[in-house]
Amino acid sequence: MSTKDFIFVLGGPGSGKGTQSAVIAKEYGIGYLSTGDLLRETIKKLENPPKDMSEEELNKIKELAGIMKNGGLVDDKTVIDLIKKKMSSSKEEHWFIDGFPRKMSQCEAFAAELGEPVTCLYINVPEDVLINRLLKRGETSGRADDNEEAIKKRLKTYIEESQPVIEHYKGKGKVAEIDGNRSIDQVHESCVEAIKKHWKLQNKVEEAVKNSKCCLLI
Ligand code: AP5
């Protein structure tokens, strides 16, 4: 684990953290995890709990589902354990960690165990735009927290708990702030530019296209 390095992808709910990091990770062959996705996979077990799941574990997962539905933050240990498990399951050396840390105690706990990020991408989007994006997504996403009430709570949690994290890393000179209120392609370009200052990246998609052209010529 200690040989791995990572970039935190931060921003409000609906800022485009997942959209950008999933695509860039695929494009450049970077490890990717989203704490929100890992938690949603965990609570999916409630739909069909394994027979050997203990009452205690079942109650814990129900508790996580309740917190997420209400736009709060689940406990640090649960999230950090999920991240460690995911990172150790793959040989990738560079990682995007999307949606973490969301509060100061998570920064401290993670730094003590896995070190400091290379940098943080902070995708900055005005609140009204965030709300509109999430309400629109809520029409089809089926996510329990994409409704007006939960969105307001997620924003409140973000302002109170997560913005201090961004300030913390700004103080360390470890924030690349990206204007996220532009087209997905424009945001993508700025994110890639910021990452390339820290990691030597090769575009796997472009390489694959080049290689396939070579094959055709032969
Ligand atoms: P999580 O899943 O991380 O939710 P979130 O932070 O609220 O953010 P989203 O995933 O909804 O949005 P996003 O920024 O990834 O944007 P996206 O790309 O999807 O967390 C869910 C919950 O899990 C939390 O509330 C908490 O309870 C718990 N949790 C997670 N991490 C935790 C942690 N570390 N500690 C404790 N608890 C934790 O885009 C959103 C929409 O906008 C999409 O429809 C997309 O198509 C659209 N869009 C994206 N970019 C653009 C653009 N440039 N222009 C127009 N539309 C765009």
pLDDT tens-digit readout, 132-173? 999 999 999 999 999 999 999 999 999 999 999 999 999 999
% of the chain exceeding 90 in pLDDT: 86
- Cα 12 to averaged position of ligand 1 atoms, centre (Å): 7
Please answer whether residues 153 and 162 qualify as being in contact, where contact means their C-beta atoms are separated by less than 8 angstroms.
no
How high is the pLDDT of residue 73?
98
- Position 202 confidence tier, pLDDT thresholds 50, 70, 90: confident
- Cα 53 to averaged position of ligand 1 atoms, centre (Å): 29
Please answer whether residues 117 and 6 qualify as being in contact, where contact means their C-beta atoms are separated by less than 8 angstroms.
yes
Q: Is the CB of 14 under 6 A from ligand 1?
A: yes
Please answer whether residues 5 and 95 qualify as being in contact, where contact means their C-beta atoms are separated by less than 8 angstroms.
yes
Nearest CA residue ID for atom 25, ligand 1: 71
How high is the pLDDT of residue 110?
95
Atom of ligand 1 nearest to the CA of 102: 34
Region 190-216 average pLDDT: 84
How high is the pLDDT of residue 203?
85
pLDDT tens-digit readout, 17-60? 999 999 999 999 999 999 999 999 999 999 998 889 999 999 99
Mean pLDDT of the chain: 94
Concatenated DSSP letters of 24-54: HHHHHT-EEEEHHHHHHHHHHGGGS--TT--
Nearest CA residue ID for atom 3, ligand 1: 36
Q: Is the CB of 150 under 6 A from ligand 1?
A: no
Q: What tokens appear for 33 in the block?
A: 């995890």
Torsion on CA atoms 108, 112, 113, 116, rounded to nearest 10: 70
How high is the pLDDT of residue 41?
97
pTM: 0.94
How many CA atoms does the CB half-sphere of 181 hold within 13 Å? 10
Q: Is the CB of 188 under 6 A from ligand 1?
A: no
How high is the pLDDT of residue 218?
53
Q: Is the CB of 135 under 6 A from ligand 1?
A: no
- Cα 54 to averaged position of ligand 1 atoms, centre (Å): 31
Give the rounded distance of the alpha carbon of 91 from its chain centre.
19
- Position 217 confidence tier, pLDDT thresholds 50, 70, 90: low
